[in-house]
Amino acid sequence: MRRFFVTNKFFLSTKMYHLTGQQNPRFIASMANDFYVEISGKKDGPHDLVTIMRRIRANKIGMDTLIFVDDSPTAEPAKNIPDLMMFFNRGSEQKNNNAPGVTLFTLHSILHDGWEFTMQHTIMSVFSGGIILVSLLLAYSMIDMFGLVVGVMSSWFAFVLSFYMYLAFSLRLYRGQPVSADFINTKLSPVIPTLLLAAFCLTMMAVGGLIVFVIPAFFVVVYYIFVPFFILDRRMNMVQAMYASRLLVHKYKHRYFKTVACLVLAFVGSLILIIPLPLTLPIFAGALIRAYEELSTG
């Protein structure tokens, strides 16, 4: 347990160095705080530190925005709260993220992030191996009972849904947030029906595209690869999440479309090979989350 805590603390400190340009030991402890934003005299929240950070980077929270921390009876400007000050230090740099010549990430950098994520959270390799094993057993049973076409479609749908759950847990770990019973009951469980619907619809779209031609199926996967994140992170419905995912892929005049497409293509290749998936699945998850975090807050 001690080793697990130290490992995650080191990984989270590394992430904060990447995001803020400086190491901040207070960040680990501040992840447990609840933050409330004062809007029109009312308290909006609770929000965790990651949500506040993302709102600051999106310019939805300014230096003078009043913030309550935990049960504090009085609000303070965000610039006066030690745990939030660091996010304003590089504000001018963040505003230039979409300027010509400035690159949020490359294929190499997000794959490197994915590798770090895999090494820091080796349990996710075990988790991915379980998903693959169950998917293969389910595919064998479904094909035997319902025939090749229905069996393959059913097992693929089950894999996509399991993959969405895998991304949900990966997102929590990537951000250094606890994967607890409270998270499952209050955050994950309410969106499972939406994730289920999205998995079914996108499976049908991908299969339809595959029947017509391989390229349409590939574009379905690329354009809607961020759907589970928007459903879990922003509480969007399926249609909203699909629209938001497509906009994210198109962001910055398609500058990162090729990078996301290459990442998806590499993952599809690993799916075909099957054997390396316990390793490649967490790498892909970490890389995809890095791309999502950069594009959605940059």
187 DSSP 8-state letter: I
Q: How confident is the model at residue 7 (pLDDT cuts 50, 70, 90)?
A: very low
Specify if 164 maps to a domain. Answer: yes
- Residue 3 covered by a domain: no
pLDDT at 284: 94
Mean pLDDT of 36-60: 78
Structural domain includes residue 17: no
* 118 and 72 housed in the same domain: no
Q: Which of 73, 84, 75 is nearest to 51 (CA)?
A: 84
Query: What crossing angle do the helices spanning 238-254 and 192-212 adopt, rounded to 10°?
Result: 60
pLDDT confidence band for 5 (50 / 70 / 90): very low
Q: Residues 259-267: what's their mean pLDDT?
A: 91
- Kindly report the CATH number assigned to the domain that includes residue 71: 3.30.1490
pLDDT for residue 227: 94
Same domain assignment for residues 187 and 49: no
Question: Per the domain annotation, does 10 fall within a domain?
Answer: no
Do 227 and 259 reside in the same domain of the chain? Answer: yes
Q: Are 36 and 74 within one domain?
A: yes
At 25 the pLDDT is 46
pLDDT at 273: 76
Q: Are residues 183 and 65 both part of a single domain?
A: no
Last residue of a domain, one of 66, 95, 124: 95
Q: Is 23 helix (H, G, I), strand (E, B) or coil?
A: coil
Which residues are bridge partners to 43 per DSSP?
Answer: 38
User: What is the pLDDT averaged over residues 30-53?
Assistant: 77
Look at residue 263 and tell me whether its pLDDT is greater than 90: yes
Last residue of a domain, one of 48, 63, 95: 95
Domain end, chosen from 60, 95, 130, is at 95
Asked whether residue 206 is domain-assigned, the answer is: yes
Asked if pLDDT for residue 283 goes beyond 80, the answer is yes
Range of lowest pLDDT (2-16, 117-131, 188-202, 263-277) = 2-16
**Is 88 in contact with 79 (CB distance < 8 Å)?**
yes
Task: Give the pairing of strands 66-69 and 42-47.
Answer: unpaired
pLDDT > 70: what percent of the chain? 81
80 with 220, same domain: the answer is: no
- Range with top average pLDDT, 56-65, 173-182, 201-210, 283-292: 283-292
- In angstroms, the CA 265 to CA 277 distance is 14
Burial class (CB in 10 A: 0-12, 13-18, 19+), 21: exposed
Range(s) of the domain holding residue 195: 111-297
Residues 155 and 131 in one domain: yes
Overall number of domains in the chain: 2
Asked if 119 and 61 sit in the same domain, the reply is no
Q: Are residues 48 and 188 in the same domain?
A: no
29/144 same-domain check:
no
Query: Are residues 121 and 175 located together in one domain of the fold?
Result: yes
88-102: average pLDDT: 51
Mean local confidence (pLDDT), 7-24: 40
Span 32-49, average pLDDT: 80
Whole-number pLDDT of residue 93? 46
Identify whether residues 155 and 76 lie together within a single domain. Answer: no
Maximum mean pLDDT: which of 1-10, 182-191, 206-215: 182-191
* Residue-level pLDDT at 18: 41
Mean residue pLDDT of the chain comes to 79
Residue 286 pLDDT exceeds 50: yes
> Is 31:176 a contact under the CB 8 Å cutoff?
yes
- Report the relative pairing of strands 35-39 and 42-47 from DSSP bridges: antiparallel
Instruction: Tally helices (H) and strands (E) across the chain.
Output: 15, 4
Alpha-carbon dihedral angle through residues 99, 105, 107, 113, given to the nearest 10 degrees? 180
Q: How many CB atoms lie within 10 A of CB 14?
A: 14
15/91 Cα distance (integer angstroms): 18
- Reported as a single tens digit per residue, the pLDDT across 111-129 is 999 999 999 899 998 888 8
State how far the Cα of 195 lies from the Cα of 186, in Å rounded to an integer. 15
How far is Cα 18 from Cα 168, in angstroms, rounded to an integer?
A: 22
Could you give the 3-state DSSP secondary structure of residue 144?
A: helix
